[in-house]
Structure 1
Amino acid sequence: MTLNKHALYINARLFIFTILFAVLAMHVHAPARAQSPGTFTLGNKEFLLNGKPFVIRAAELHYPRIPKEYWEHRIQLCKAMGMNTVCIYLFWNIHEQKPDVYDFSGQNDVAEFVRLVQKNGMYCIVRPGPYVCAEWDMGGLPWWLLKKKDIAVRSMEDPYFITRTQKFLKEAAKQLAPLQIQNGGNIIMVQVENEYATFGSDGRYMETIRNSVRSAGFDKAQLFRCDWSSNFNKYQLDGVATTLNFGAGSNIDNQFKKFQEIYPTAPLMCSEYWTGWFDHWGKPHETRSVNTFIGSLKDMMDRKISFSLYMAHGGTSFGQWGGANAPPYSAMATSYDYNAPVGEQGNITEKFFAVRDLLKNYLQEGEILPDPPAEKRVITIPEFELNESAPLFENLPPGKRTETIRPMEDFDQGWGRILYRTTIAASAAKRKIVITELHDWASVFIDGKPIAKLDRRRGDNTVEIPASQTKLRLDILVEATGRVNYGKAIIDRKGITEKVEITEGSGLKEIKDWTVYNFPVDYNFQNKYTRFSSRQVTGPAWYRGKFILRETGDTFLDVSTWGKGMVWVNGHNLGRFWKIGPQQTLFVPGVWLKKGENELLILDVDQPSSAKVAGLAKPILDKINPDASLLSRFIGQNLDLSNEVPVSKGEFGPEEGWKTIKFDKAHTGRFFCFEALSAQQANDPLTTVAELELIGDDGNNLAPLKWKVVYADSEEVTASNSSADKVFDTQESTFWQSQSSGAKPSHPHHLLIDLGEVVSVSGFRYLPRSDKKTGGMVKGYRIYLKNAAFKF
């Protein structure tokens, strides 16, 4: 009996010891799981977590770009990479798709995402906007704001925008405020707006958003704002920490030099360290080398500078959510792979191991680097045919009459396609139709026959129509390819936003009396009006097919033989496709597939070359069709400056950063020519320019919304996405580069921009490339400005 009691005593002690050890282990491995209140504050040149120095190593993840079933897997990958924090945006337009109808459930359950972050021992940084950019439709702002004709966003000009913003922030705080660290959660910081200095400098607006964030319920967490090293001081915001954003390969000391002069005791943080970049339709796949990326990250770790990897894992812009940049207009691809450490499918890349290998040397007290979770299963699907089709023109929804052309928002449509139909009078002569503000891509038909395709990226707006002795039916089918998510062009209504005119005599006459047909993106709509058959079709149409699976897993749908449109699998919207590339596949999460019969539905507004698809084991993200070239120079075209007189000439110094040149007097003109005569390094044939800004008479920069590159003697569009229009895309980390692959043309290099109207220019600003490389930095230059076009 005594022996049994002793054994029970020993077993009890072992059991208690085991429980205590497990609890301790939980605390060591997952410090963010603690439910007791904590603190996160600003110290002297450092962040303080519960009173102790803390270096943030954050991973940016976007919950809408990851199927909910995969959320925890991606979080665990980030922890295994060496991260102690996850950074997230809140996407207003996905949570409030109709005014006052809020959805934080299912795939939109952001609180559940944050709780999963805490469950896995990590802290969270929340960026609620209202604007987030993120290469997301309208930068996260809801499309229905555009139903207000005079809407003004991101400013104090429009009380309606401020009121709607405050309502959304309150709803978001209901979900997340209880998860602030001071309440026992894991949210340590909350951002105020996003990169506002690239848009404006109104301190009153930022104060209003700061106060709105606090009053909504984020009144305990440390607030912060993020901007760039070149513009963070355009406004002041008391009570809010300041952080900087910059890209792979940046010179860390230079990025923070001015910041430290102004904020000598502030903690240093790169709130977006760009691991790669996003892809545009029709442009080369973006990559950033591991060596360039990892070097600057090590520099930050050696200096105990906090960071957030943007992106740690990009994911996919499913459905209609991909955005666009402007100027010039350029829509984002569906894949948001971003060349990030964790690939689009959740696959581990070379960058992942490079980051993990680096950060293992910088772990803080109590941290242990876990093994990565197993990667998700990948399957292939044999090629099969979509053997049912439904022509769009034979499956129209009810039409709506309108006297004048109106954008799709006026018809309560947020995304998708819109068809404008009218009748034009007979004419014995050919005529032209001119479309003002086509957003974004259109097919034009006369009596059901296609006569033209128009692309906003190229500025297409004119179609020639044939002579006819009878009336003609005119159809203009417009596809929206993503609202602008960045800069002043963010007010981006879709469809045809102004007017359609036809030549009459020597002038133009507006066409009126239209019937409009709306084609939204909802899966239920696609089935409601479509009558499928097995006959062959031409032109815009839906296609449907079935495939059988014995097992499920992730796959990549090969859509390389299709034209332009959207895909649904078992009711899930995979996103947009476009034959021009660089993306030729669409990611299909295995959790959206099922054993047995699966349905595939494709709407192609162009024309497939083959109505077949297959599921591949790897994506195709880097294949551009050569007929989609947007080069700014025709074969044999050469700019003639022999009789031109420059308005300014000189040499730039070798130092980095913005350089401002003032003219001796103001000059007027519509066509601006930048001539690079030489580079800073001797015998360097390259020219690289990150940004060019023109200064008006009032000392302010001229808006580039109407600008268009009409000539560049050389552009690198094969080895990298370094086309000439990068000089006014307001993205400091991208740049125009003369050809660096193959033959390298020598100086001089020329860039000619049509400013869209005659303007008065008193000077210009030039920004060299912002990475550590110096190749192509301009030394000698000449500037030309003319009212009339230059000669070739």
Structure 2
Amino acid sequence: MHRRSFLALSLLTPLAFAGSGWAASLATGRPSAAPDGKPHAFTFGKREFLLDGEAFRVHSGEMHPARIAKEHWRHRIRMARAMGLNTVAIYVMWNHHEREPGVFDFESGNRDVAGFIRLCAEEGMWVYLRPGPYICGEWTNGGLPAYLLRDPDTRLRTRDDPRYMAAVRRYIAALAPRVAPLMASAGGPVLMLQIENEYSMFADDIGYLDALRDIWRENGIAGPFSVSDGLKDLQRRKAYPHGSALGLDGADVADLVKGRGFAGESPVWVGEGYPGWLTHWGEPTFATKDYEATLRHIMSAGYSFNLYVVHGGTNFGLTAGSNAEDDGSQFQPVITSYDYGAPVDERGRPTEQYMRLRRVIADVTRVTPHALPPEPASATFAPVTPRPFAALWDNLPGAAVTLPAPGPNEILFGQDQGLVVYRKRIAKGAVLRLENVRDYALVHVDGREVGSVSRVVHPMLNSKPDLMLPDANSPERTLEILVDTFGHINFGPRIGDHKGLIGPASIDGLPLRDVEAWAIPLDDDWVRGLRPIADESAPTTAGSAGAGSGSAGADSSAETRSPRGPIFFKSTLNIESPGDVYIDMTAWSKGYLWINGQLLGRYWNIGPQQRLFCPGPWLRAGDNELLVLDLHRHAPAVVTAAESLQASRRP
């Protein structure tokens, strides 16, 4: 099952009011109530939310601190407020804060969750907190730490695995003290906390949800609590913990009425309403949706809602997740941008839909929204053509380890994503078979690229496991397999998928044994320590391979002094005045892009994304370092500045 399959949102006449206090709440103007530093009681009445005993409609828009440069947080919150919303919903991505067991970071950069929540309060916005442990969110492994995958016997999202539950307890014990002072009952803006996410889409153990709720209570968070699910999955698995607010994802009014059969007198609301949608690598266009009529219908019927998302941001670094069918087929990695077709675009600018939804909210609430904040500054730079800087093969970290056979990166190397190189001296052979590649294998023989195998099915790619090896004049050759990864599957039964060469690797049916291996995490320390090419003035080839479809590329006539790929290319961007900018990589193949040491994310010429967003705060006046690792190109290409992800969607 794909992540949140598109839902047909019908435009029916309202079937029922959400609660008896709806008409009164419109008359009393409670939508304008805002956090003021004083304790407030957010509770559940009869099928409705109450704030200090009066009916209250949660008009929420979701955004994620982890996907936004910290310097832009306040602006994005103000954009939500100017749209007429009164609440900001946020995911907390567990694996963004605990990379290694017991080593937490809730302070640095965009990991300062408490700081983001305090900004919401300063801007008069309530907060709906969604801390997982599982969040999905098109984020790698659904927010669950990859270290959990180092033990192949660990089972995720179940109370029956003591290793998993011990890690969950440790995470909640670390986060809860930061959240407790920010609950509305303590004078903060946090109204409600979600126990788990879309659990009926995965399993049916209500006891697991009850256990999570109890762990929060043991750590000082008394609630109130919520869950969020799709109605069809809820009807199938019925994983609803009694007494929780029931958020229904992609719901129309008819679905919300049906939700009462589970929630009883507890509130039912739109836990996720979709004004946009996610996009995967290789899709022909960026996904979009239109939520205007649906939002008007839901609000007119008196229901609370959470827009997923009001602003998406960016999957910086290696944070983007992946989707797949329940059997693991149709692997679909999510692009670096999380623009999502959201009302506030990736750069923080209002789209045409933003203005229409803003009018709907003002019409129904009869409250004049705040003025829009000024747009963040933009920047540009002259086109540059980076020079070859370092060869991957000259920078394999440390000594090789010899392994009986390839296997999962997490188990063999303790590595989450990044790259792995396997090397083996082989005799003559015709067919290399790489089964269950996760997710992209680039094959070299005697220093020449001879093809690739991709887990992604696309016309430009070879998704078959077999590669024909070139004829050899010598009795022995050097085979090198470079494995590149995408984010872990974030939704469905395949969550927790391992990376690497999972299935057998063989030549003419004989298994590859006793292979040398190097794990390359693409982390900051490794990138800073790159050893440059000895002679940067050496000529390079004029050609380059394409998307890795199995071609040896145009480097078959390469000059002998040319460094062989993959290659790091470096250049300087001269920026007069720092501001937000897109880096256009249309002329490049497949790889990674850093600006001033910050990994912006992945690029890939199968599209639809060709430009990567760089926040202005990560730039400086004057010279800025651009570093590109391209897996296929031997010769540099031009890099240009762009104003937007695609053709403008602004009003």
Q: TM-score, normalised by structure 1?
A: 0.71
Residue pair 1:387, 1:534 contacting (<8 A) in 2 also = no
The counterpart of 1:326, out of the listed 324, 334, 337, is: 324
In structure 2, the partner of 1:371 is 371
| Counterpart for residue 121 of structure 2 | 118
Deviation at 1:573, TM superposition (A): 1.1
- Deviation digits for residues 660-680 of structure 1 (CA, Å, limit 9, x no counterpart): xxxxxxxxxxxxxxxxxxxxx
CA shift in 2, pair 1:483/1:534, >3 Å: farther
1:349 to 328, 348, 351: 351
C-alpha contact (below 8 Å) 1:224/1:243 kept by paired residues: yes
In the alignment, which residue of structure 2 is the partner of 1:52?
Answer: 54
1:259 aligns with 2:259: yes
CA shift, 1:362, in A, is 3.0
Q: 1:77 & 1:253 partners in 2: Cα distance?
A: 27
1:173 aligns with: 176
Give the deviation of 1:350 after TM superposition: 0.5
The residue matched to 2:516 in structure 1 has which SS?
Answer: strand
Aligned equivalent of 1:478: 483
CA offset at residue 264 of structure 1?
5.0
On the 8 A contact 1:232/1:244 being kept in 2, the answer is no
Counterpart for residue 157 of structure 1: 160
- 2:573 is the alignment partner of 1:569: no
Paired residue for 1:413, among 407, 412, 415? 415
The reply to whether residue 435 of structure 1 matches residue 434 of structure 2 is yes
> Hey, what does 2:295 align to over in structure 1?
297
Q: Distance in 2 between matches of 1:31 and 1:422?
A: 67
- Change in Cα spacing, 1:255 to 1:29, as seen in structure 2 (3 Å) is closer
Does the C-alpha gap of structure 1 residues 145 and 262 become closer, same or farther in structure 2, counting only changes over 3 Å? closer
Please tell me whether the aligned partners of residues 274 and 289 of structure 2 are also in contact (alpha carbons under 8 angstroms): no
Q: 1:190-215, CA deviations, whole angstroms, 9 ceiling, x for partnerless residues?
A: 00110001111112212211212222
- How big is the shift at 1:435? 1.6
In the aligned structure 1, how far is the partner of 2:228 from the partner of 2:48?
Answer: 17
Preserved contact between residue 391 and residue 541 of structure 1 (Cα < 8 Å)? yes
Per the alignment, residue 509 of structure 1 pairs with 510
**CA apart distance, 1:621:** 7.7
What SS does the corresponding residue of 1:445 show, helix, strand or coil?
strand
Aligned residue among 559, 567, 582 for 2:585: 559
CA contact 1:561–1:608 (8 Å) conserved in 2 = no
Write out per-residue CA displacement over residues 338-358 of structure 1, whole angstroms, 9 at most, x where no aligned residue: 000000000111111111111
Structure 1 pair 91–298 and aligned structure 2 pair: CA distance change class (3 A): same
Partners in 1 of 2:155 and 2:94 — Cα distance? 17
| Equivalent position of 1:591 in the other structure | 617
**In the alignment, which residue of structure 2 is the partner of 1:493?**
498
Any idea what SS the aligned residue of 1:583 has? Answer: coil
DSSP 3-state at the match of 1:586: strand
Q: CA deviation at 1:395?
A: 2.7
Instruction: Please give the alpha-carbon distance, in whole angstroms, between the structure 2 residues aligned to 1:396 and 1:86.
Output: 44
Per-residue CA deviation, residues 376-425 of structure 1 (Å, 9 max, x unaligned), is 12222110111232222233222222122122222122221111111112
Counterpart position of 2:273: 273
Q: Distance in 2 between matches of 1:381 and 1:61?
A: 29
Asked if 2 retains the 8 angstrom alpha-carbon contact of 1:30 and 1:122, the reply is: no
Q: Does the residue aligned with 1:214 lie in a helix, a strand or coil?
A: helix
Aligned to 1:206: 209
> Match for 1:460 among 439, 461, 464?
464
- The percentage of counterpart residues that share the same residue type is 34
Measure, in 1, the Cα distance between the counterparts of 2:631 and 2:332: 19
Alpha-carbon deviation of 1:440? 0.3
C-alpha contact (below 8 Å) 2:592/2:630 kept by paired residues? yes
The whole-number CA distance in structure 2 between the counterparts of 1:413 and 1:571 is 21
> For residue 389 of structure 1, what is the aligned residue in structure 2?
389
Residues 7-26 of structure 1 deviation map (CA, whole Å, 9 limit, x = unaligned): xxxxxxxxxxxxxxxxxxxx
Q: In structure 1, how many angstroms separate the alpha carbons of the residues matched to 2:186 and 2:569?
A: 52
Could you tell me which residue of structure 1 aligns to residue 313 of structure 2?
315
Partner of 2:425: 423
CA distance in 2, matches of 1:145, 1:396: 26
8 Å CA contact retained: 1:39, 1:181: yes
Residues 438, 502 of structure 2: 8 Å contact kept:
yes
AA in 1 matched with 2:488: R
After TM superposition, the structure 1 = structure 2 runs for residues 522-541 of structure 1, keeping only pairs within 5 Å, are 522-532=523-533, 533-535=536-538, 536=540, 537-541=563-567
Judge conservation of contact 2:437–2:455 (CA < 8 Å) in 1.
yes
Q: Helix, strand or coil: the match of 2:363?
A: coil
1:782 — aligned with what? none
Give me the whole-angstrom Cα distance separating, in 2, the residues matched to 1:282 and 1:455.
12
Pair 271,29 (structure 1): closer, same or farther in 2 beyond 3 Å: closer
- Kept in 2: contact 1:561–1:609 (CA 8 A): no
| 1:235 Cα deviation from its structure 2 partner | 2.4
Cα 1:240/1:261, change in 2 over 3 Å: closer
Please list the CA deviations of residues 124-165 of structure 1 after superposition, one character each: whole Å capped at 9, or x if unmatched.
Answer: 011111000000010101111111111110113311001101
Q: Distance in 2 between matches of 1:375 and 1:452?
A: 45
The one-letter amino acid of 2:529's match is: K
TM-score of the two chains, using structure 2 as the length reference = 0.86
Q: Deviations over 1:680-732 (max 9, x none)?
A: xxxxxxxxxxxxxxxxxxxxxxxxxxxxxxxxxxxxxxxxxxxxxxxxxxxxx
Larger Rg: 1
- 2:282 is matched with 282
CA displacement at 1:467 relative to structure 2: 4.2
Of 66, 71, 74, the residue aligned with 2:73 is 71
Equivalent AA in structure 2 for residue 494 of structure 1 = K
3-state DSSP of counterpart to 1:279: coil
Map 1:596-607 to 2 at 5 A.
596-607=622-633
**Unpaired segments ≥5 residues, structure 1:** 1-26, 623-792
Which residue identity does 1:270 align to in structure 2?
V
Q: Structure 2 unaligned runs (5+)?
A: 1-28, 458-462, 541-562
Conservation of the 8 A alpha-carbon contact between 1:170 and 1:217: no
Aligned pair partner of 2:605 in 579, 582, 587: 579
Distance in 2 separating the partners of 1:414 and 1:596: 35
CA shift in 2, pair 1:373/1:137, >3 Å: same
Report what 2:5 is aligned to: none
Matches within 5 A, 1:665-684: none
* 1:72-87 matches, cutoff 5 A: 72-87=74-89
SS in 2 for 1:490: coil
Tell me if structure 1 keeps the 8 A contact 2:34–2:125. Answer: yes
Corresponding residue for residue 342 of structure 2: 340
Taking the aligned partners of 1:112 and 1:289, their CA distance within structure 2 comes to 32
Residues 555 and 211 of structure 1: is their aligned pair in 2 closer, same or farther, counting only changes over 3 Å?
A: same
- 1:502·1:510 contact (CA, 8 Å) conserved in 2? yes
What letter is aligned with 1:561? A
After TM superposition, give the deviation of residue 28 of structure 1 in Å: 10
Paired AA for residue 512 in structure 1: R
Distance 1:596 1:343 in 2: 27
Q: Distance in 1 between matches of 2:266 and 2:582?
A: 46
Task: Quote the Cα distance in structure 2 between the aligned partners of 1:330 and 1:145.
Answer: 22
Q: Is contact 1:166–1:216 with CA below 8 Å preserved after alignment?
A: no
Are 2:641 and 1:615 equivalent residues in the alignment? yes
What whole-Å deviation, never above 9, does each CA across 1:194-253 have from its counterpart, x for those lacking one?
00011111122122112122223221x31010111112242241232212001xxx6x23
Whether 1:543 and 2:569 are equivalent positions in the alignment is yes
CA distance in 2: counterparts of 1:570 and 1:144, whole angstroms: 28
- SS of structure 2 residue aligned to 1:35: coil
Paired with 1:262 and 1:141, the residues of 2 have a C-alpha distance of 28
